Structure 1
Amino acid sequence: MQSASTTRPPVARKDLIKAFAASLSGTTLEWYDFAIYSAAAAIVFPVLFFPSGDPMVGVLLAFSTYAVGYVSRPLGGIVFGRLGDKVGRKKVLVWTLVLIGVSTCLIGILPTYQSISLWAPLLLVLLRFAQGIGVGGEWGGAVLLSSEYGDPRYRGFWSSAAQIGPPAGNLMANGAFAGLTLALSEEQFFAWGWRVAFLVSAVLVLFGLWIRLKLEDTPVFKAVEQSGERPEKPITELLQTESRPLFSAILARIGPDVTYALFTVFTLAYGTIVLDLDRTTVLGAVMLGSAFQVICIPLAGYLSDIINRRLVYGVAAVGAVAWTFVFFTKLEAGDATWMYIGIPVGLFFHSLMYGPQAAFVVEQFTPRLRYTGSSLAYTIAGVLGGAIAPMMFTLLLDNTGTWVWVAVYLAGAVTLTLIGLIMGRNNNVQEDVDHLERLAVAQRSADSVDEVAASR
């Protein structure tokens, strides 16, 4: 049995806090971009970048660029994932943050169709593709940055830093668009106001870079590097030796992604189009749920540290399905205030899955292949889950005329998640302990050599 002190990385508490903040800032930027682009694709881009005689054609074209950001994520996971295991977490996270931030800011200054004709939508697609590549490499590294600095016994809490990014980013993005809409006339908003929302991301980039450049690489990666265990071909080795953990992590992520898409994206369309509710009512409910998640996600991560992680994850997944049936049944009664109960509770169940998710995914892989494995699991599951879920929900509702099949679709996604949890393994603290002990021994040896040299 290892002592508690043995499991703690040899870093100061201020560095733990910096790592937590560095992880949080990157994923917050990622989801700020996600929400800003989503709103712009529905409101701004159809008018300024995809002008068409049919407004719906413009919207569809704009949303196609939104999907490009998902499709390019696996490429980012492959490129940056393998680099993270070869050259280190910190270096790669600096590159991904710069790529995401620069791409987002360039969208904010991009000339419109009226100025440069077809080059405008083409450059928009290219920048969206670049964003997706950066995001594909960001999540896995952000999770490792915080979790490998923290005590591996509390990996759920430390790795939850990356998971707070989605609700935090959504809150910031919705706040930015709401503020600009209220402060500006419609003419001002379309002329230059929407650009401000994209350019503001530069502040997050600078903050994130300031923190990340001050940090050293994680103690676990240092131990892998010091022992000479860095993989030469991370992707090949992962597929050959850790394919089961990869499939487990992919499947485990699908259910939460689909749940999130249901309660934050699909409910907007269902509430406004089917129930004829005011858009601000539904947006208010989503923002309330997002604010609630900022608190719930780290608490859920901590809960999974003191209770079996897979158990917390699995119970929450089943609860999300059950609540979905309750939620839509109540909505049919036409009570608009139910949105303010149903959506936050749905996002509460999502938090109970999402808080432990990062730790579960990370601990499926051995330390030397964690960045590659986590990045591929995140990006592949994103395409299979969150990317297509809103479209599938809409098609099912349109073709059947009932929400029941939407709930059934979620149940199918959650079933895949439960299979992934069953395939997965529990937290193995000893793996990190062994690496950290080797690093501690190497540091003591180096200190002894320095002391001898100094005494001569």
Structure 2
Amino acid sequence: MARGIDREHRRVVLAAMAGTTIEWYDFFVYAISAGLVFATQYFSALGKDALILSFATVGISFFFRPIGAVVAGHLGDRFGRRAVLIATLLLMGVSTVLIGLVPTTASIGVAAPILLVLLRIVQGLSAGGEWGGAALLAVEHAPAGRRGLYGAFPQIGVPIGLLLANGALALAAAVTTPAQFLVWGWRIPFLLSFVLIVLGFVIRSRVAESPVFEEVRRTRSRSSLPLVPLLRHHGLLVVLGALLFAANNAVGYMTTGGYVQSYATKTLHLDRSVVLVAVMISAVAWLVSTLVGGWLADRVGRITVYRIGFAVQLVWMVPFFALLDTANAGLLVLALVLFSVGLGFTYGPQAALYAEMYPTRVRYSGAALSYAIGAVLGGAFAPTIAEALQSSTGTVYSVCAYLAGMTLIGLVATFFVRDRRDVPLGQSRETVSLSEPRLLE
């Protein structure tokens, strides 16, 4: 699959992948820590509701993703993808390092959870603007017939980020006692983000601007306010794109949002390190299936791969929770690995599909906004909803029903989006009528 990516383009996909990896490492370290640490260190005064509120702080940041998407989309469509990507990387990294320095409630009282939530909001603003730019940087540099594969590389930054986040927390848990981990061990992965910021900045600062955007700049056809024509002419596409991602995101946030880690350790009483390693293994499976999904999307089409992925998610939903409930480490790994296949197939084609849905003048705004709204609808409170359903019903199969419903929504949405893998992305795209009925036909 890597064949056909020449030296010139290798730097581009590396920059897109490295940036999203660092961004999502930062994002996931918080999400996982919400289930393992923050309930006791920052929200313990709430008693039995501490864990639910801790997961809610994961979701709060999602409401600020659309704001980040609008701002980054406007700047990205007006001034270019590259500068915005550097800014979002720095914003995420600094906020993550600062989270690692926030004292606990026992030290500074109510100011502790307030600071934690404020910094999580900053992470949400950054995440809202990051993905669209990284995806477009890769896809707009891609040669004809390779946009699905190129677009899969920024996508694998998510499972790599999950892998690194779980790995860092697993290592911190392994070298500390349980008491030490709760007091200071969990802070190490947050502080390590400083090293990743420097690395990501160096990589991204050396990448050229998207050639598609340069064409827009040369012809002076940039939109002064991209959000207005986007919503006026392509508002339905923004909604459909959001529903596609919501179905993937709700399921994915069972691990990336910390729910599975919390359930396996607190309810099933599996060792924390064992659970983190199991999630790391599943992240590798997610990475591979994402690349395969992007590669396959160039051959059979984006929508076909999406439908295969959603079908796998749906079929595997009940067996996943059945294996999880065995509290067996080996079966937990099996459940998570197969769970990741459907995620990869509904994630690999996403960058190419979103780029092809919108014209160049509003592409960053459209892709970023669809992604951000989908994250709100899907992943924002998925761990919170899952925890509340399990607590109120006494069974994880209520969570299974919720995720199956989200998957069905995504599957239905695929029948209303047109596969445009053969459409050029440059200025010639602007000469084609882009009314929504044509895009949906």
TM-score by length of 2: 0.88
Question: Any conservation in 2 of the 1:154–1:305 contact (CA below 8 Å)?
Answer: yes
- The answer for the alignment partner of 2:96 in structure 1 is 104
Distance in 2 (CA, whole Å) between partners of 1:164 and 1:59 is: 29
Distance in 1 (CA, whole Å) between partners of 2:108 and 2:41 is: 11
> Do the aligned partners of residues 221 and 64 (structure 1) sit closer, same or farther apart at CA in structure 2, a change above 3 Å counting?
same
Structure showing greater radius of gyration is 1
Question: Any conservation in 1 of the 2:52–2:387 contact (CA below 8 Å)?
Answer: no
Q: Which among 225, 233, 236 is matched to residue 241 of structure 1?
A: 233
Distance in 2 (CA, whole Å) between partners of 1:233 and 1:433 is: 19
> Do the aligned partners of residues 269 and 109 (structure 1) sit closer, same or farther apart at CA in structure 2, a change above 3 Å counting?
closer
**Following TM superposition, by how much is the alpha carbon of 1:244 offset from its aligned partner in structure 2, in angstroms?**
2.4
Q: Which among 128, 150, 155 is matched to residue 147 of structure 2?
A: 155
- The answer for the alignment partner of 1:212 in structure 2 is 204
- The answer for the alignment partner of 2:28 in structure 1 is 35
Superposition pairs for residues 64-103 of structure 1, below 5 Å?
64-103=56-95
Distance in 1 (CA, whole Å) between partners of 2:399 and 2:177 is: 38
The amino acid of 2:162's aligned partner reads: N
- The answer for the alignment partner of 1:368 in structure 2 is 361
> Do the aligned partners of residues 101 and 332 (structure 1) sit closer, same or farther apart at CA in structure 2, a change above 3 Å counting?
closer
C-alpha offsets along residues 80-131 of structure 1, whole Å, 9 cap, x if unaligned? 1111111100011111111111111122233444554443332222211111
- The answer for the alignment partner of 1:4 in structure 2 is none
C-alpha offsets along residues 12-51 of structure 1, whole Å, 9 cap, x if unaligned? 9434111111111221122211221123333443454445
- The answer for the alignment partner of 1:348 in structure 2 is 341
Superposition pairs for residues 124-203 of structure 1, below 5 Å?
124-186=116-178, 188-203=180-195
- The answer for the alignment partner of 2:293 in structure 1 is 300
Distance in 2 (CA, whole Å) between partners of 1:75 and 1:157 is: 29
- The answer for the alignment partner of 1:395 in structure 2 is 388
The amino acid of 2:381's aligned partner reads: I
Q: In structure 2, the residue corresponding to 1:355 is in which secondary structure?
A: coil
> Do the aligned partners of residues 262 and 433 (structure 1) sit closer, same or farther apart at CA in structure 2, a change above 3 Å counting?
same
C-alpha offsets along residues 137-164 of structure 1, whole Å, 9 cap, x if unaligned? 0000010111111114211111111211
> Do the aligned partners of residues 48 and 270 (structure 1) sit closer, same or farther apart at CA in structure 2, a change above 3 Å counting?
closer
Question: Any conservation in 2 of the 1:366–1:431 contact (CA below 8 Å)?
Answer: no
The amino acid of 2:95's aligned partner reads: S
> Do the aligned partners of residues 190 and 332 (structure 1) sit closer, same or farther apart at CA in structure 2, a change above 3 Å counting?
closer
Q: In structure 2, the residue corresponding to 1:387 is in which secondary structure?
A: coil
- The answer for the alignment partner of 1:252 in structure 2 is 244
> Do the aligned partners of residues 224 and 406 (structure 1) sit closer, same or farther apart at CA in structure 2, a change above 3 Å counting?
same
The amino acid of 1:232's aligned partner reads: S
Distance in 1 (CA, whole Å) between partners of 2:9 and 2:171 is: 34
RMSD over aligned Cα, in angstroms? 2.7
Aligned residues: percent identity?
36
Q: In structure 1, the residue corresponding to 2:312 is in which secondary structure?
A: helix
**Following TM superposition, by how much is the alpha carbon of 1:424 offset from its aligned partner in structure 2, in angstroms?**
1.3
- 1:224 matched to 2:216? The reply is yes
**Following TM superposition, by how much is the alpha carbon of 1:276 offset from its aligned partner in structure 2, in angstroms?**
4.9
Gaps of 5+ in 2: 432-441
- The answer for the alignment partner of 2:435 in structure 1 is none
TM-score by length of 1: 0.86
Q: In structure 2, the residue corresponding to 1:148 is in which secondary structure?
A: helix
Q: In structure 1, the residue corresponding to 2:311 is in which secondary structure?
A: helix
- 1:382 matched to 2:375? The reply is yes
Question: Any conservation in 2 of the 1:96–1:135 contact (CA below 8 Å)?
Answer: yes
Question: Any conservation in 1 of the 2:77–2:226 contact (CA below 8 Å)?
Answer: yes
Q: In structure 2, the residue corresponding to 1:327 is in which secondary structure?
A: helix
Q: In structure 2, the residue corresponding to 1:358 is in which secondary structure?
A: helix
- 1:413 matched to 2:400? The reply is no
The amino acid of 1:89's aligned partner reads: R
Which has the larger displacement, 139-148 or 172-181? 172-181
> Do the aligned partners of residues 387 and 274 (structure 1) sit closer, same or farther apart at CA in structure 2, a change above 3 Å counting?
same
Gaps of 5+ in 1: 1-7, 439-456
Q: In structure 1, the residue corresponding to 2:28 is in which secondary structure?
A: helix
Distance in 1 (CA, whole Å) between partners of 2:392 and 2:56 is: 22
**Following TM superposition, by how much is the alpha carbon of 1:74 offset from its aligned partner in structure 2, in angstroms?**
1.1
The amino acid of 1:342's aligned partner reads: A
- 1:358 matched to 2:378? The reply is no
- The answer for the alignment partner of 1:285 in structure 2 is 278
> Do the aligned partners of residues 435 and 16 (structure 1) sit closer, same or farther apart at CA in structure 2, a change above 3 Å counting?
farther
- The answer for the alignment partner of 1:315 in structure 2 is 308
C-alpha offsets along residues 168-216 of structure 1, whole Å, 9 cap, x if unaligned? 1111111111212222345654554333211211222111111111112
The amino acid of 2:126's aligned partner reads: G
Question: Any conservation in 2 of the 1:65–1:128 contact (CA below 8 Å)?
Answer: yes
Distance in 2 (CA, whole Å) between partners of 1:363 and 1:39 is: 33
Distance in 2 (CA, whole Å) between partners of 1:322 and 1:98 is: 40
C-alpha offsets along residues 256-300 of structure 1, whole Å, 9 cap, x if unaligned? 112212455443344445555444444333221111222221121
Distance in 2 (CA, whole Å) between partners of 1:37 and 1:350 is: 21
Give the length in aligned residue pairs. Answer: 427
Distance in 2 (CA, whole Å) between partners of 1:60 and 1:409 is: 17
Question: Any conservation in 2 of the 1:223–1:435 contact (CA below 8 Å)?
Answer: no
